[in-house]
A and B are shown apart, each in its own frame.
Chain A
């Protein structure tokens, strides 16, 4: 697999994750989120993970970033490499201004106070928030929140970027701008794991793809081929316009 890639940055070896919910439910309250998943992420590649909602995509990213530990199996990360999970709205407090929220979010992602401070004007400009950047986030529309969230996340510099659906929100114009910024980042040899349920995004951005269903890897390889399996398993039930999104 992928012999032209130099080295593995991140690997999951026979990883399963299950947990018990507080109360007795089906299967004695035990939920199996991932079931014996093995995969590798190579240096400089953009790996796309596609699957329906609730199949374990976000959990997979949480395992990769070390937020969660597997119930069984192992997660390996190349020594000395940093890794961050980017999601929207990281730690936004509705009573704080966009500026203060952006500063706090950057610091939580590992930036020093000075670094966080130095990014603020860039974030203000890219997010196109204008004077609203100084207003409390509770006054923002969902589109404005998405813009602030994406721009704050974009400023994080790590070796392995784990991206959870960040290009799927906001208004059409900003979505295009965000996708462009993300592609620029990807082209600069950034190692990326990109989660989405949108086929077109995976096809455009990723060099390799994985189709996840019910906590298991169903297909892995060239994005077009994986998308074909994905569509087939969905029973071609989706209307054509959704497939192309």
Chain B
């Protein structure tokens, strides 16, 4: 015993090399997409059908019934709603991912961030198809491609960072108390109404109020940024975008530290 301990016992770690982590995350995401597609008659078509049906419902309610008084309402709605669905669905599912993988967490000592990341990656793959459809729709609706569309790349990247940061927070909260799963779903509904999905954050009458909404709610700024780029060929406010990126990265780093530091505690919470 003394001989063994003299060799300095290794702290039992669950870290894996980054390339293996990324491959595993990608494999889990692709297999999940395949399993989902196999479950439904329309298979992979649901990647596009689901967001389009959401858009259709909102279009009927807010344009055909409530008369939005915007000639470009459908495009306006698609730019906001398709990006919002990406955020809300990814954060919702990723928040429940550790608890949903209780069986695995009880059997293997694996990095816990893997579970939300696999869900986020799955959402990213779907969203690539959704964004492609959106661009095709814009081009067929009379909008012409512009160099400003390149600004979509940093906006999508920051949106992705926001999703990762919020998902890590959500996943930990749900581990600690299952009730947070309900609260997160409710929070997504709150964000749906307050982020300018079906109303224009710039049409509030008072520019200061618009600024305030976008400053307080980063998602409102992001949805507006998508519209400015795609509909008005206008670049987003880089400083604002940069601040959201920094905030997301800091939150993400803190959560990665927390999840690694308290990996076994989180496992116990998931299993108990």
Residues of A within 8 A of B (CB): 7-9, 11, 19-22, 31, 40, 62, 65-69, 75-81, 83-85, 87, 89-91, 93, 95-96, 100, 103-104, 107-110, 112-113, 136
Contact = CB atoms under 8 A, between A and B. Distances in A.
B144 interface: no
Contact of B107 (A22, A40, A85, A100): A85
Q: Which of B3, B103, B107, B109 has the most CB of A within 10 A?
A: B107
Contact of B1 (A8, A21, A85): A8
Nearest to B30: A100
Interface stretch (B10-18, B83-91, B163-171): B10-18
B267 interface: yes
B1 A40 contact: yes
Contact of B104 (A8, A95, A103, A108): A108
A137 to B, nearest CB: 10
B65 interface: no
B203 interface: no
Interface string B1-34: 1011101111011101000100110011001101
Interface string B39-63: 1000000000000000000000000
B107 A90 contact: yes
Interface of B: 1, 3-5, 7-10, 12-14, 16, 20, 23-24, 27-28, 31-32, 34-36, 38-39, 101, 103-110, 177-178, 264-265, 267-268, 271-272
26 contacts: A7-B3, A7-B4, A11-B1, A11-B4, A19-B272, A62-B267, A65-B109, A66-B109, A67-B108, A67-B264, A68-B268, A76-B4, A76-B9, A78-B9, A79-B9, A90-B107, A91-B101, A91-B103, A91-B104, A95-B38, A96-B35, A103-B27, A104-B31, A107-B23, A108-B104, A136-B38
Contacts of B16: 110
A113 B23 CA distance: 8
A102 to B, nearest CB: 12
B104 A90 contact: yes
B12 A87 contact: no
A123 to B, nearest CB: 16
Contact of A75 (B5, B12, B104): B12
Contacts, number: 108
A136 B36 CA distance: 12
Contact of B108 (A21, A90, A112): A90
A107 B24 contact: yes
Given A7-B3, A8-B3, A91-B104, A69 B27 contact: no
A67 B10 contact: no
A109 B108 contact: yes
Contacts of A108: 24, 104, 108, 110
A104 B114 CA distance: 13
Given A96-B31, A103-B27, 6 more contacts: A66-B12, A69-B268, A77-B9, A93-B32, A109-B108, A112-B23
A65 B27 contact: no
A68 B31 CA distance: 28
Contacts of B107: 67, 85, 87, 90-91
Contacts of B5: 8, 11, 76
Given A79-B10, A95-B38, A104 B272 contact: no
Contacts of B34: 95-96, 100
Contacts of A107: 20, 23-24, 27
